[in-house]
Structures are given as C-alpha cells and as structure tokens.
Amino acid sequence: MAVKFRDYYEVLGAPRTAPAEEIKKRYRKLAHKHHPDVNPGDKTAEERFKELNEAYEVLSDPDKRRRYDQLGRNWKGGADFTPPPGWESAPGDSGDIHGAEYSAGDFSDFFETLFGGGRGAHARRGGAGFARRGSNVEAEISLTFEEAHRGVTRKFSLEAGEICADCGGNGSKNNKVCASCRGSGSVHRLRALEVDVPPGVRDGTVIRLAGQGEAGSNGAPPGDLYLRVALEPHHLFSIVGNDDVQIQLPVTPWEAALGTKIEVPTLDGPVKMTIPEGSQGGRRLRLRGQGLRRRHGGRGDQYIQLKIEIPPTLSAREKELYGKLAAESQFNPRELIMGGGR
C-alpha cells in the first residue's frame, strides 16, 4: 500500500543537522507568518499552519526526532521498530507493531501511529494506539539578585503542546482525522503560567512545574516543565562563592586616611558601617549575614572592597590644602620599591 512520505525538515525549511534552537526559530517565524489570526479566511495559510505544527511537534521532541531520522524514507521497507522504555500499549492492543494497518495516502497518520500519536480512525488495529506520557519541556527564567534573594511570584508565557480542544486529544472527530491537530491530539499554543520562586535560588537552579510540559498521547499524563534560573547581572553586587556578595565602594582619600562611618548598600537596604583609619585601596571589609539567603536557612556575608577616588577637579583652596599636605607629610609609598626592598 502506498503511503505518502512528508519530510518535516522540508516543511520547516531546516537542514537535517539543524540544532534544536534553529528548529524552534524557524517554526516560530513560519508559524507567525501563516497563523490563522494573521491570515483570516485563508485556507491555504491555515493548512500550512497545521503542517508546521505537525512538523514541529515531531522535530522539537528529541526522542521523536531521533526515531524520525532513523526511519527516514526506508519505512516502506518495513524496517524493524522497537518502542523505547516508557511506551505503553493501550488496553486490548496486540503489541505487534508489524501488524498495524494504515489509511492510504497520509504519511502523517502512519508516522503518528508509530510515534505515539496515532488515534481514532488511524490507530493500530485492536486498540487506541500507544499511550505515551508527554515530553518534558525546559525553559529559562531570568531573575534579578533581589528576586533570587527574597523570592518572587512570576507570570510568564510559554509555547508548548496541549490537548487539542476540538477532539479532546483523540485525534479524530466525527470519525475523521481532526482538522485542528491533524490527528496528533495536541496543538502548540502560548500558555500563561505562574511560578512561585522560593527565596535563595541561584544561577542554574532548576524549578519543576509538574504537568506543565507537552501533552500526553491517548490519555497519558502530560510531561513536566523545568525552569532553569538565570541571574541578571547587577550594577552593584557580584556573587563570591555560593552565598556571599561583594560590592566595590568608592571612598575619598581623607575618608580612607582618617576613618569614617558611611552608609553602604545591601540587598535589604543601606546599613551603617565603619571605615577604619588608614584603610588602603583594595581592602575588603565584611558585613556578616548580609549576603544571599540560603534555601535551607541562614545567609552568606557581604564584602566591601574599598576604592580610593581622587577628585577629578580641584578648587584653588583644595589645591592649596593638598600642597600643604605634600609639604608636611613624610610618607613615601615608593620607598620600598626605590630602596630595593631594604
């Protein structure tokens, strides 16, 4: 029986070696161009949009893509196929994949039958097809230092597969292949989500949202969403180690020489601290317990590195005072260098 082959790489205009990010980029560009909302009443654009969704559903899933690449155009030869771990045959299924029957003229239905999406009229003989848990989805969430320190509730949008509303995930409607999902049982849409980020997360921390991944097939549960935290650079603070933070604090020559009390910024607001008399540029002072919160309690420390700043311009009076200081002081910072270390 002739089955029409459709190359999903050609549908997305991507080479077979394209990385996942390029596949996603090409899909988004084309899906936006052919979206029904952008082309109201255009049946050609609607069909193209469905085609793109079908191709992306397969090529965006590492397991499906790997099996698609292995199957290739040799599927007509009846190449053996071994379901990977985690696949389940539906109740009443014979478990014999080589005895499957397919409707003529539609490769996508044949492909979905093999890869866990065959439903309704195009399911395997004797059952409703494979029931397969939805794929997990990974995404990145960007946080400020303050949000990571205190915790935050963040709303965001994510594009992922969900159960097709028209067919309820069955892939068929009125004994015909569902026109909305083309028999896959799921469609890609933007979803509005909300996540509670606990205090004390770090760059690279992974937060799991159960059941928020890709939709499952044939009634199987959806996958999970894994959010990887990425901390935004801060204009003042940098992380030292795992829990400590550091800032560079400008001080005047007289503040460093005479000592003083000044306000220092922290993650929880300014605090007073003492600059000891005779402090040198580059000296590090510590504020205990003013660093980042830890997930299981406690906090790190904050370090203050002093940077002595010279006024860029001097008034006549300031020049006069600096001149008197130069005449009066016996301090020579180059003495050890010029004296050869003696």
Domains identified in the chain and CATH numbers: 8-131 (1.10.287.110), 137-231 (2.60.260.20), 238-338 (2.60.260.20)
Residue 41: its pLDDT value, please? 79
pTM of structure: 0.54
CB 139 within 8 A of CB 226: yes
Give Cβ neighbours of residue 100 (< 8 Å, ≥ 6 apart).
113, 124, 125
Q: Which two tokens mark 209?
A: 């949202």
DSSP structural state of residue 306:
E
As a whole number of angstroms, the distance between CA 253 and CA 109 comes to 77
Q: Return d(Cα 324, Cα 71) in angstroms, integer.
A: 87
Three-class SS of residue 257? helix
Measured distance CA(50)–CA(219) in Å, rounded: 22
Strand, helix or coil at 185?
coil
**Cα dihedral sign, 201-203-208-213:** positive
Nearest residue to 185 via CA among 123, 237, 245: 123
pLDDT in tens, the chain (342 residues): 333 456 888 888 988 888 888 888 888 888 888 877 677 778 888 888 888 887 887 888 787 787 777 765 443 333 444 444 444 433 333 333 333 333 333 334 434 433 444 333 333 333 345 677 888 888 889 999 899 999 999 888 877 777 787 887 777 788 888 888 877 777 877 888 899 999 999 999 999 999 888 887 767 788 899 999 999 999 999 999 889 999 999 999 999 999 999 999 999 999 999 999 999 999 999 999 999 999 888 999 999 999 999 999 999 999 999 999 999 998 888 887 776 554
Q: CA 127, 133, 134: angle at the middle one, nearest 5?
A: 120
Residues 6+ apart with CB under 8 A from 10: none
Cα angle 164, 165, 166 (rounded to 5 degrees) comes to 95
| Pick from 127, 132, 123: nearest CA to 172 | 123
Q: Which pLDDT belongs to residue 117?
A: 41
Distance (Å, whole) CA 62 – CA 314: 65
Tokens representing 112 are 């979905």
Tokens for 28, please give them: 């988004």
Distance of CA 294 to the CA centre of its chain: 22
Contact (CB, 8 A) for 14 and 60: no
Q: Residue 72: which residues within 8 A CB-CB, separation 6 or more?
A: none
Question: Which residues make Cβ contacts (< 8 Å) with residue 62, sequence separation at least 6?
Answer: 20
| Alpha helices per DSSP H over the chain | 8-12, 20-34, 43-59, 62-71, 107-114, 145-150, 253-258, 316-328, 335-338
CA angle 8, 12, 18 (to 5 degrees): 90
Burial of 152 (0-12, 13-18, 19+ CB in 10 A): middle
